[in-house]
Structure 1
Amino acid sequence: MPRVCGLEVFRLTLPYGRRTESILVRLTDYGGMTGWGEVVDPDPKAWSILQEQLAPALIGVDWEHPDELGVVPGGPAGDMACWDLWARMRGVPLAHALGGSRTSLMATVRVSGDRNLESLVARVNRHVCAGYAHITMDVHPGWDVEPLRAVRLAYPALGIGLDARGAYTDIDALEALDAYAPSVIERPFAVPGGLTDHADLQERVAAPVLLEVGSAADLQDAVAAGAGRALLMRPAAVGSLREVRRMHDIAAEAGWEIACAGGQGTGLARAATVAAASLPGCTLPCDVAEPPRSAQIVTPPVGATGGVVAVPLTQPGLGHGIDEDRVRRLAKESHRA
């Protein structure tokens, strides 16, 4: 039975790209076992909540399973740390603790826009040569049909997902992309505009519309509206891994495909993404390809090799060691309780 006797919270600004912020949580059990969690791009109030509310919610509290804890204060970092601690104490990998069955995952790699089509095709070629059988292209009005046609002509058998990042308002423009057999059309419209446009688009295209939602309740609404046939799930952005499993079960029961994504952070959140992606309904390629491995604080680093992501099954919990010295060097602020 886990019983937390101490915790530390670290606030990091990561030294790459747009300098994403992460908050890490380290829990310690009376037996000396530790569990780690991470929230990436946290809510502005997350730091103060973790400082003030996490210790009273966890320290000295007996629990048999993380599900018993309900909503852990401060978002997914504390919840992830509880799952990691519990799985390590049980000697089981997090993937199996969640109900996962896969030992490896097909990976996708993101390809951003390029002014030159030849340059775009050359970049895709590098990924194909590295072993990727699937890419995800960013598209937006004015940069969609021509680049997609160029890549499809160069690689007829390549899996190509399209990420619109909510940039479209014209269903006709998206329907034109369906002629080039994309594997999914991801986030075509801004969800606050309602689910009707998503449902209308799904009726007009063969490709699954891949919808990102943050809760099981939102997913149930999307399924009821026929707003797509695929779920984009970011475990590190969902409040708990229990909610991740609920979302997986709802999507799978509805016959939706599932893609797991979570490329930012120190590697901890990505490790949880890999564990969630091992669930049986997560049949679409997993997106954990970025940022660079050198930016991670976990060993071995989380990422794809030859277009495949290994699910760590030989070590308990998240399945990765933590470079605690690097965590402390990168931390711009820390709190202990």
Structure 2
Amino acid sequence: MKITQIDLHVIEMDLVAPFVTSLGSVSGRRGILVEAHDESGVTGYGEAVAFSTPWYTEETVATCYHMIKDILAPLLLNTYFSYPKEAAERMAAVRKNPMAKAALDMAIWDIYAKKRGEPLSKVIGGTRNEVLAGVAVGADTIEELLAQINHAKNDGYKRVKVKIGPGNDLDRIRAIRHSYPEMAILADANSSYFSFEKDLYELDAFGLQMIEQPLHPDDLVQHAELQKKLKTPICLDESITSFQDAWSAIQLGSCQVINIKIGRVGGITEAIRIHDLCEKHGIQVWCGGMLEFGVSRAHNIALSTLKGFSIPGDISSSKRYWKKDITSPEVQVSNGIIRPFKGAGIGVEIDWKRVEEVCIQHVVVK
């Protein structure tokens, strides 16, 4: 395939309800829809999932826009690739910036699968006919959290991820466990604990599925020490931005679970490598979410069909976050399960009328 044109659509939509974490509250979402055109007329889609400010990682919508438009897209344009991995290797000449790279990597995989006339899930070796879906909840009060969880339970979700942080942990988890004694609960700290605080040890009593990213993203050693002292599995999220990070974490014993986010690790190419590494070493994996639009959700579903994804991921129904998504059909969860899309590539179409309604900037790179 030969990429001849790349369109960047910066879009912005309000969330149905604010999403609260230890790092702040998000009420609106801006992102970049990437539209890559092959010389044969096939179009593939990707999504840059960075936030507008660098609270989750150092990347932002603005930095991704710059990196794709001015640096990464020119590296890929008018060059022949026989396989998506070759494009990823070419982008490796640029250090870091995984979310910008991921957006292009997604689009190229979509083109590759469409040219083969097969669903992306099949092309990457997916074997699951059903994808397990969980949901992330975040609110200011315990009452609001319980209401969100009750709504999720009624929608059929079997696993709930709860945002916690120092001072907002034990009371929340205790109340949730009391109300939902059988539900699988994941506590996500978003790196908000700065040491082996007492509350982290006390969380061991609640039978959590895992504690996600309790300590600083760059500190694999401290996570390894903490994991030795906890019965509850530690899951790493922000710490894992590449295959090398995953390998180091496994060697140190820093975790028992890894959350694989396509955007955070640099694309589907790298996500598959991390999945295969974890499967080899007995590390559980699941697919995390980034409050994405429909394109990234479709890619997440395809990735989650790989054998190792045995834990429900953050691939909730589009309606939980958006009044109307930018793709058709929208992602729908039924009884905690999503059926992979059957069409070629990511299996969804872009709702261009909706994109026009929410687009705030469009540029063509040739």
* Equivalent residue number for residue 63 of structure 1: 81
Taking structure 2 as the reference length, the TM-score comes to: 0.84
Verify: 1:331 aligned to 2:349, yes or no: no
1:257, CA displacement in angstroms? Answer: 0.6
User: After superposition, what is the alpha-carbon deviation per residue over 1:238-261, rounded to whole angstroms, capped at 9, x for unaligned?
Assistant: 222111111111111121111211
Cα separation, 2, equivalents of 1:252 and 1:244: 12
* Equivalent residue number for residue 210 of structure 2: 184
The 5 Å alignment of 1:33-112 reads 33-41=42-50, 43=60, 44-69=62-87, 70-72=89-91, 74-112=100-138
The 5 Å alignment of 1:263-274 reads 263-274=290-301
SS of the residue 2:323 aligns to:
helix
* Equivalent residue number for residue 308 of structure 1: 337
Cα separation, 2, equivalents of 1:325 and 1:132: 31
Residues 247 and 334 (structure 1 numbering): CA distance in 2 closer, same or farther, change over 3 Å? Answer: same
Cα separation, 2, equivalents of 1:305 and 1:299: 17
SS of the residue 1:99 aligns to:
coil
SS of the residue 1:49 aligns to:
helix
What are the ranges of 5 or more consecutive residues in structure 2 without an aligned counterpart?
A: 19-26, 51-58, 95-99
1:332, CA displacement in angstroms? Answer: 1.8
Cα separation, 2, equivalents of 1:26 and 1:97: 20
- AA matched with 2:267: S
Measured on the aligned residues, the alpha-carbon RMSD in Å equals 2.1
Cα separation, 1, equivalents of 2:141 and 2:355: 39
SS of the residue 1:278 aligns to:
coil
* Equivalent residue number for residue 317 of structure 1: 345
* Equivalent residue number for residue 253 of structure 2: 226
Taking structure 1 as the reference length, the TM-score comes to: 0.91
* Equivalent residue number for residue 263 of structure 2: 236
SS of the residue 1:20 aligns to:
strand
Cα separation, 1, equivalents of 2:169 and 2:212: 13
Contact kept? 2:131, 2:338, Cα under 8 Å: yes
Verify: 1:147 aligned to 2:175, yes or no: no
Match of 1:29 among 27, 38, 52: 38
- AA matched with 2:361: E
Contact kept? 1:21, 1:265, Cα under 8 Å: no
Cα separation, 1, equivalents of 2:165 and 2:78: 51
- AA matched with 1:110: A
How many residue pairs were aligned?
Answer: 333
1:49, CA displacement in angstroms? Answer: 3.1
- AA matched with 2:354: R
SS of the residue 1:218 aligns to:
helix
Cα separation, 1, equivalents of 2:67 and 2:182: 49
1:293, CA displacement in angstroms? Answer: 4.2
Match of 2:287 among 256, 260, 266: 260
SS of the residue 1:19 aligns to:
strand
SS of the residue 1:14 aligns to:
strand
